[in-house]
Amino acid sequence: MSDTQSPVPDDQAPALDTQSAFTLPETQFAIRRAVLGLCRTMRWACINEFSLPAAGRRADIMALTQDGMLHCIEIKSGPRDFLTDRKWPEYRDWCDRLYFAVDQAFPRDLIPQDVGLFVAHLPESPSTILPECAMIRESLLSKLATARRKTLMQLFGHGAALRLMALEDPAMTASLRAARRVE
């Protein structure tokens, strides 16, 4: 499907896998965990639900690579989720590379060839074990303009610092410092 084609109407969409033991939120969560695990091994720093400057747009995962590239990763829980999403082409303007992340049952031919693809291999039933994931296809590179990159880098750094600050409890930090001095 090219960028200019509209998604397939719901009545022509492939049927969702009704044999899955996962609910749609569980599928999305499992795919996200698998992708984040792979990103961690590639040393990509990721922020979930990254707010873009575009009105009302939020990337499922925004990844900052070691060489300063910004990759947007959109999670799709199934064909209907992909085919009814009319926003994703707009994300191209806010990243150097755009990817979709799907599970192994997703019909890969639905994903445009110029977009990267991660595939998570989900277990037969929900589990606490981290699902495996692989990058099946690299996305075409479309480098951000310098001013836009600067804006996104500032948003990324500020957003990451705010999230980290929310996790750090000053009382806990003081306790850890005191414990280290005792050792």
The residue ranges of every structural domain in the chain are: 10-182
Report the C-alpha gap between 126 and 158 in whole angstroms: 34
Instruction: For 140-163, write each residue's pLDDT tens digit.
Output: 999 999 999 999 999 999 999 999
CA separation for the pair 139, 97 (Å, rounded): 6
Q: Which two tokens stand for residue 172?
A: 């806990």
pLDDT for residue 183: 57
As a three-state string, the secondary structure of 29-61 is HHHHHHHHHHHHHCCCEEEEEEECCCCCCEEEE
For the stretch 60-98, pLDDT in tens is 999 999 999 999 999 999 999 999 999 999 999 999 999
The amino acid at residue 94 is W
Fill in the DSSP letter of residue 124.
S
* pLDDT of 171: 76
The tokens describing 159, both together, are 């957003």
Q: What average pLDDT does this structure show over 27-34?
A: 94
Average pLDDT, the chain: 85
Residue bearing the bigger pLDDT, 158 or 3: 158
